[in-house]
Amino acid sequence: MDAMNKAIFLDRDGIINKEIGDYVYKLEEFEINEGVVEALKYWRSKGYKLIIITNQGGIAKGMYSHEDVHLLHQYLHTFLNQEGIHLDAIYYSPHHPDFGNSLSRKPGSLMIEKALARFDLDPKQSVMIGDRPRDIEAAEGAGVRGILVDANTDLRSLVERV
């Protein structure tokens, strides 16, 4: 394992960007939450990789496309790069239980397990921050500690809890 063998896994909607009570897939509805930039900079300075793990079940429902998700994620990468923050990866599951089962969708732990393997991460030094019990269940399934917070929590309140 290299020096950066730990990660902060983050849910997207409600953690990185505002949870608006419905699927976020339009750029004009994608608003970065208060404290995200500062918290990510802090964790990066402590040697953590930064990885987003998100369910995007609206794809299975036909509400939006993979392309819509890629455009949002491209915007997020660009925004964070301009703030001096490198996001290591974004994993998303396009599945929804109403349209078939998938191991990748949280509470399944497959997306986290893929990231652990790809980046040679130590699950015991890694943390998943999410706003739904399924985020924590996915983390625990991969041997990662989960931290459950309310949607749209200022991440600066968590920097010392990691």
What are the pLDDT digits (tens) for 126-147? 999 999 999 999 999 999 999 9
The whole-number pLDDT of residue 22 equals 85
pLDDT-based confidence at 4, cuts 50/70/90? low
Helix (H) or strand (E) holding 43, with range, is helix 36-45
- Per-residue pLDDT band for 98 (boundaries 50, 70, 90) equals very high
Q: Is the pLDDT of residue 101 over 90?
A: no
Q: Break the chain into its structural domains and give their ranges.
A: 9-121
Rounded mean pLDDT of 17-34?
A: 93
Out of 13, 68, 131, 135, which one is annotated catalytic?
A: 13
| Residue among 2, 11, 120, 154 flagged as catalytic | 11
d(CA 128, CA 138): 9
Q: Which two tokens stand for residue 62?
A: 């036909």
Mean pLDDT throughout 42-47?
96
Q: What pLDDT is attached to residue 3?
A: 56
Clarify whether 11 is annotated catalytic. Answer: yes
Q: Output phi, psi for 67, to 5 deg.
A: -60, -40
Per-residue pLDDT band at 21 (split at 50, 70, 90): confident
Distance CA 52, CA 87 (A): 8
Can you list the positions of beta strands (E) in 94-143? 127-130
Residue 43 tokens, joined: 């964790």
Q: Which CATH architecture has domain 9-121?
A: 3-Layer(aba) Sandwich (3.40)
Q: Which residue type occupies 148?
A: L
Nearest-angstrom CA–CA distance, 17 and 93: 17
CA distances (Å), origin 68, targets 13, 38, 152: 15, 27, 22
Are 105 and 99 spatial neighbours (Cβ–Cβ below 8 Å)? no
Does residue 1 or residue 71 have the better pLDDT? 71
Is pLDDT of 37 > 50?
yes
Q: Look at residue 11 and tell me whether its pLDDT is greater than 50.
A: yes
Mean pLDDT of the chain: 95
Residue 16 has pLDDT above 50, yes or no: yes
pLDDT at residue 86 tops 90: yes
Evaluate if residue 1 carries a pLDDT over 80.
Answer: no
Taking the C-alpha atoms of residue 134 and residue 140, their distance in angstroms, rounded to an integer, is 10
* Helices 110-118 and 133-141, packing angle to 10 deg: 50
